[in-house]
Amino acid sequence: MFSFVSIPNKLSGIGLAAYEVGEKTHTVIQPGRVVKDFVNFPDVAPTFMEVAGEAAHPQMTGKSFLDALQSPRSGQIDPARTYALLGKERHDTGRVSEDGTDLAYPVRAIRTKEFLYVHNIKPDLWPTGNPEYGLRNCDGSPTKSYLTGLAPSDADYRYYEMCFGKRPEEELYQRDKDRHCINNLAANPESAAAKTRLRAQMEQDLTDQKDPRTLGQGDIFDQYPYMGKQFNYNQKK
């Protein structure tokens, strides 16, 4: 059996955020053992290709994890699978440039057993979309209605800011002690070495994968046409 089990999202981030609830999916393969290897969605296609006896397409950046599927062991199977890269570009409409172009909220991140490092590449933008357009990257719910109805003077307004406010350029969380990613250590001098190491590893891998954003060509993501219902920014609907 091979299936993905998605973890329901909480409101403290966006649906495809680079936080625990946005990036973690349990993979059920063989009940009775637990494998600790980090696996990304780009690894799934090369795995299926290897099962079918075919070579992975040159465009694929992932790596087959068939060895982990076939191993009878639990724990860490592949000693190289100790981290995963995460990324986000456009997920919904709700941010717009002066010329009417829908804008992405670009994020790149790296997750290890101990840390989550997040690089919000354009921290001047709103992560869940502009407030004046309804924070469109977060679906409607009673919780969203409650938070967006708060005033800055309200005691719970800090939760609005955690969910919808602008984010710093860098975030670093010690995942084994802060699984909800609340205490940002990016500005902590004691965490500087870990932050530098994680960012270097992330950027090296993304460069090897020819990620346009990492290579300074990321605005191409804003040029792809949106195939869903187009949002009218003048009418705000």
Q: What is the pLDDT of residues 138-160, one digit of tens each?
A: 889 999 999 999 999 999 999 99
Rg (CA), the chain: 19
| CA angle at 137 for the pair 210 and 169, rounded to the nearest 5° | 55
| Cβ-proximal residues to 99 (8 Å cutoff; 6+ apart), any chain | none
CA distance 106 to 110: 14
The per-residue pLDDT for 164 is 93
CA distance 222 to 227: 13
β-strands 3-6, 170-174: how paired?
unpaired
Long-range CB contacts (< 8 A, 24+ apart) of 139-146? 139/15, 141/11, 143/11, 144/11
β-strands 115-120, 170-174: how paired?
antiparallel
pLDDT tens readout for residues 72-131: 999 999 999 999 999 889 877 888 887 778 888 999 999 999 999 999 999 999 999 999
